[in-house]
Chain A
Amino acid sequence: MTAAGSTVFVVDDDESVRRGLKRLLGILGYRVESFGTAAELLSRASFGRSCCIVLDIRMPGMTGLELQDRLAEQGDSPPIIFLTAFGDVPGSVLAMKRGAVDYLQKPVDERELTAAIQAALRRDEQRRREARERDDARAKAATLTPREREVMQYVVGGAANKQIAGWMGIAEKTVKIHRGRVMSKMCVGSVADLVVACQHADIAPRKQP
């Protein structure tokens, strides 16, 4: 994977660190945006493009760990690589537990840093793909009528057409028509794909009325 077009957000209260990382990562081909405080990042950055965050764990005001929490609360956090100076080890365990990509000691090794950034960007790719699929599935599910939606839930719950007809008090033939519309509206060719689409759209299967 290439660096081209990916953004690395550098958050560190130390001017030297910000400047050095910005220069290095810039030469490596990343777009770099740097912030002196966690609050600045929260207020200015948008995470729609391919991106990751290189975050100092110990900062005045909001600490790196607090920022991690805030981003997690917002629900759509880019992957985080923590940087730490000597002596912040207790924080590292916590950071990793909460899903940080890596935890690097200052001064950072170039290979370590680029490897971590690559891993982070891969994870970000996946994050954004999942987000896209989720949005996609939700948009499609929104076009279903209530009847179609009910039929879909029974189908992904594993029920046969006959059972569904009995539960809903309609003809089996009608169930088949609904089912066909569901498959075409959700743009899927198999029940297995429909199950995945429902998961993305966060729609629960039904096993009985």
Chain B
Amino acid sequence: MRILCLVKRVPAPGARINITEDEQYVDDKNLGHAISPHEECGVEAAVQLIEAHGGEATVMSMGGADSEEQLRAAVSVGMAKMVLVPTDGSPKDPQETAAALTQAINDLEAAEGAFDLVIFGNESADQGGFQVGIRVAHALGRPMVNGIKGLSLEDAPEGHIIARREVDAGFEVYELPMPACVGVKEGINLPRYPTMKGRLASKKAELGTMEAAAEAGGQSQVRLKSPPEKVSETVILGNGPEAAPAVVDVLEELGVL
């Protein structure tokens, strides 16, 4: 099968987030960068499907020239090809991003053949618009379900893929006719680390480029700001196990006991 994974370069999640002076960007000068976590799992999901069923996977990223780092990271864990949809690196709104990606995917498919499956992340770790994959899938006319934490071809009817979405009490099961699109979530798998061979392959891999541009949509970023800090006067209940009675007093007060 042929799979396309969409990934976004983001400042490595987990660190404290500072804002640049112009209030337009996350200040990343002291941060490393990574593939947005859901999408990193999307890459792993594609590699696992290819390992089990054969075929080839391509990774695509829209962003500034430095997104090449994340494309090569994806190749190092098993993507066969990589494509950059170059931008000036400034944040794009979801409509613009989706329109440009749709154009790039159409052009790539015209040149190299259609994909059976296009894997997005559920949402990007940074802007978190929760919509780009859904807009692209709609423009491509393909079925799309977001929030996927399981993908499998086993037990699926010919030409379909089974997608599982985690809900509170378990899973919802979807059976999508391919070509299909999915938005995956972290937890669908544990992404592998690159092997030495993978690292070498990623260094040699050729960077493909797809020019695509679109009009800005109706949502614009005005500025970024830090949310109000939760200020808490922490009451220290004690040290070590001797604090247990004071803890249980609190639990009783809250009525959870």
A, B co-complexed: no
Residues of A within 8 A of B (CB): none
